[in-house]
Amino acid sequence: INSFLLTAALLFEAHQTLNRLGKHFRHLESFKSSVAPLLGDDEYKNLLADLRPLRNHAVFHFDPSALAAGLGGIQREAFTFVLGHDAKAGYAYYELADEAAMGLLFGSDPTVENYYERCRELIQRVTRHSITLLSAVDRLVGDSLVEMGWTITET
């Protein structure tokens, strides 16, 4: 889940960066047709609002009180602190930290099944918007390079 948490926080950061870049690139067709619609999309804005606590309290900044609150909202008979398949370094997975981060997003969630369903749905939303964002940025970079005088050749 670590890769998801990082991707979600980076998606949030990319949105902020693209908003600032608009003053330099909003005249480009790729910005108008790909980036601007994404920045104005309500579903995307709602996702970013959902991801803000994750970015601000668990991934890029550590806030112990927020993570404690994240754990407090998850109902479990028991929590697993760490899992491992071997005693070697790098083979451990700190499940409790991920549970706390995801709990920060979901708040009070009464069942394990509901928790996993919400995780699945959030991962799908982040994946869908990340792909859209990467495609838009790819077009914007290409247009920007051409505008700066670079030549695009196929090899």
Over 70: is that where the pLDDT of 4 sits? yes
* pLDDT confidence of residue 30: 97
Ranges 3-17, 59-73, 139-153: which has the least confidence: 59-73
Q: What residues does 84 pair with on adjacent strands?
A: 92
For 96-135, b where at least 16 C-beta lie within 10 A, e where not — what string?
ebbbbbbbbbbeebeeeeebeeebeebeebbeebeeebee
Per-residue pLDDT of 96-145, as tens digits, reads: 888 888 888 777 655 667 778 888 899 999 999 999 999 999 999 999 99
Residues comprising the chain, all counted: 155
Rounded to two decimals, the pTM is 0.80
